[in-house]
């Protein structure tokens, strides 16, 4: 019998159920920790919630994930993915900087902190462009800026929101087919890839917005790029998203708590099983 592994969560999505099933099939004991039902020793405080040596971090919330993982790591727990990986991957600006520094092709991006300077950046990036919250997922608040008038209106709206939404992350709109490619990386292997097709009347390909999934053959090119992008952040479990631009493939996002409910039936690859195997292997290391 293997040592137990842990899993932190805030919502049990189909992914978390699939991970629990995969662990059961392998007779691996998986201890579940509801992040909303625990408190932890951060400094000079005696409460010691017991944790396993290796814990899968599956919180949907970026803030919960990063902060909770940091506390566990301070106690010697190995967290997949680590708080450092999650903090960088989950912040689109930090991730873009890291990818660009490592020479991974990524869309042209500017950051601005006022409407006026955002409009100046847009003059250089050219319309249409894309505005994104630096922290967020499922395509939420990812908007096309078609021209200066609509950009101004959208930016003005953001001025009434939480300060996070006033960090204006502005990206060139990549000319691509109505799909993108997601490569699943577990450790040092690309285990599967899918195309995500945008649904009708939608340009974003997120499956949370109804995007359709199709198997994508992993080519030497996508494999190399996915591994290069993953290595920028360190060994872990990732969903590397890339677009087929006119000048080649470009990586726009590296997901650190990736969803795979649609990928398993589309590809026939047991991604949850591979993640459990990876975690068990981590216990032995």
Applying CB under 6 A, which residues contact ligand ADP? 107, 130, 132, 136-140, 142, 171-174, 180, 204-206, 241, 252-253
Closest approach of Cβ 45 to ligand ADP, in Å?
A: 35
Between 25 and 140, whose beta carbon lies closer to ligand ADP? 140
The partner in contact with residue 180, picked from Mg ion, ligand ADP, none with C-beta cut-offs of 5 to 8 angstroms by kind, is ligand ADP
Between 5 and 155, whose beta carbon lies closer to ligand ADP? 155
The answer to whether residues 254 and 89 touch, using CB atoms and an 8 Å cutoff, is yes
**Six token digits for residue 113:** 């902190």
The answer to whether residues 62 and 86 touch, using CB atoms and an 8 Å cutoff, is yes
Closest approach of Cβ 222 to Mg ion, in Å?
A: 16
66 CB-near residues (< 8 Å, 6+ apart):
83, 86, 87, 90
Closest approach of Cβ 206 to Mg ion, in Å?
A: 6
- Asked if 180 interacts with Mg ion (CB under 5 A), we say no
Partners of 78 in beta bridges: 54
SS3 222: helix
Taking CB under 5 A as the binding criterion, the range among 26-34, 48-56, 79-87, 250-258 that sits at the site for Mg ion is: 250-258
Q: Position of tokens 């290069």?
A: 228
**Six token digits for residue 64:** 């919960």
End-to-end CA separation in angstroms for the chain = 17
- Asked if 253 interacts with Mg ion (CB under 5 A), we say yes
SS3 279: helix
Binding footprint of Mg ion, residue count (CB under 5 A): 1
Between 140 and 146, whose beta carbon lies closer to ligand ADP? 140
SS3 53: coil
Closest approach of Cβ 182 to Mg ion, in Å?
A: 8
Pairing of strands 248-255, 237-245: antiparallel
Residue nearest to ligand ADP (CB): 205
Between 16 and 253, whose beta carbon lies closer to ligand ADP? 253
Contacts 24+ apart (CB under 8 A), 216-220: 216/181, 217/193, 218/183, 218/190, 218/192, 218/193
Closest approach of Cβ 180 to ligand ADP, in Å?
A: 5
Closest approach of Cβ 223 to Mg ion, in Å?
A: 20
Between 33 and 132, whose beta carbon lies closer to ligand ADP? 132
Q: What are phi and psi of 211, to 5 degrees?
A: -60, 140
CA–centroid distance for 40 within its chain: 25
**Rounded Cα gap, residues 185 and 5, in angstroms:** 20
Between 178 and 187, whose beta carbon lies closer to ligand ADP? 178
The partner in contact with residue 205, picked from ligand ADP, Mg ion, none with C-beta cut-offs of 5 to 8 angstroms by kind, is ligand ADP
Between 52 and 172, whose beta carbon lies closer to ligand ADP? 172
Closest approach of Cβ 183 to Mg ion, in Å?
A: 13
- Asked if 15 interacts with Mg ion (CB under 5 A), we say no
Footprint of Mg ion on this chain (CB under 5 A)? Answer: 253
């Amino acid at each position: 019998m293997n040592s137990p592994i842990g899993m932190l969560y805030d919502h049990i999505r189909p992914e978390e159920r699939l991970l629990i099933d995969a662990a059961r099939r392998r007779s691996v004991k998986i201890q579940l920790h509801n992040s909303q039902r625990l408190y932890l020793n951060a400094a000079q405080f005696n409460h010691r919630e017991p944790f396993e040596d290796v814990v899968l971090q599956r919180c949907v919330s970026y803030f919960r994930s990063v902060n909770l993982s940091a506390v566990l790591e301070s106690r010697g727990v190995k967290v997949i993915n680590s708080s450092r990986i999650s903090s960088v991957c989950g912040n689109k600006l930090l991730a873009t900087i890291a990818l660009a520094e490592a020479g991974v092709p990524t869309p042209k991006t500017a950051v601005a902190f006022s409407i006026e300077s955002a409009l100046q950046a847009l003059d250089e990036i050219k319309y249409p462009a894309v505005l994104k919250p630096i922290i967020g997922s499922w395509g939420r608040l990812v908007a096309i800026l078609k021209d200066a008038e609509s950009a101004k209106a959208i930016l003005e709206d953001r001025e009434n929101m939480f300060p996070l939404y006033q960090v204006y992350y502005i990206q060139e709109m990549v000319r691509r087919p109505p799909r993108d490619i997601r490569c699943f990386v577990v450790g040092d292997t690309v285990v599967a890839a899918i195309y995500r097709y945008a649904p009708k009347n939608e340009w974003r390909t997120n499956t949370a917005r109804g995007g359709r999934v199709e198997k994508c053959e992993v080519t030497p090119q996508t494999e190399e790029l996915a591994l290069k992008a993953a290595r920028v952040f360190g060994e872990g479990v990732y969903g590397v998203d890339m677009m087929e631009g006119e000048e080649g493939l470009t990586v726009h996002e590296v997901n650190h708590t990736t969803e795979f409910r649609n990928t398993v039936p589309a590809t026939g690859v047991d991604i949850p099983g591979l993640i459990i195997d990876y975690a068990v292997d981590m216990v032995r290391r």
